[in-house]
Amino acid sequence: MLLVKPDFAEELAAHGSDTAMECFNCGTCAAICPLIYEHFPRRMLRYIQLGAKEKILEEPAELWRCLHCGLCTQTCPRGADPGEVILGLKRYVTANWRKS
Ligand code: SF4
Ligand code: SF4
């Protein structure tokens, strides 16, 4: 059973990404992302909104696919800054690797 953490977005804010809740899941970032990979990065923001921390920690290496090209951030109509959110998730995973 998937455990959700409703305060996951707040937990991430300490790692520099506090815009995920602005996302309204339009999919623009996933369409422009050069990775063309399973709704990345939109899917990660959705997981944060749902508090589905386990889904992100299931396969954290996915985060390191990001090239930090900034295209998603430039085109997001909500100012959700998905590129920075991915960077914050990487910081979170790195900081919590040995604790999980
Ligand atoms: S472009 Fe912005 S609002 Fe649209 S899915 Fe991506 S992060 Fe969310
Ligand atoms: S910054 Fe990362 S997630 Fe955003 S478009 Fe570039 S490769 Fe994709």
Does 37 fall in a domain? yes
Query: Ligand 1 pocket, 78 CB below 6 A?
Result: yes
Ligand 1 geometric centre to CA of 74 (Å): 10
Structural domain including 60 reads: 8-95
Using CA positions, which residue lies closest to atom 3 of ligand 1? 23
Domain-embedded: residue 1:
no
If pLDDT is split at 50, 70 and 90, which confidence band does 31 have? very high
Q: Give residue 18's pLDDT.
A: 87
- The predicted pLDDT at position 99 comes to 64
Residue 100 located in a structural domain: no
Residue found by looking up tokens 């997981």 in the block: 47
Ligand 2 centroid from CA 35, angstroms? 7
- Is residue 3 one of the residues assigned to a domain? no
Q: Do the domain assignments include residue 15? A: yes
The mean per-residue pLDDT over the stretch 68-76 comes to 97
**Dist CA 96 CA 59 (whole Å):** 14
Does the Cβ of 82 fall within 6 Å of ligand 1? yes
Contact assessment for residue 20 and residue 87, using Cβ atoms and an 8 Å cutoff: no
Count of domains observed in the chain:
1
Residue 2 lies in a domain: no
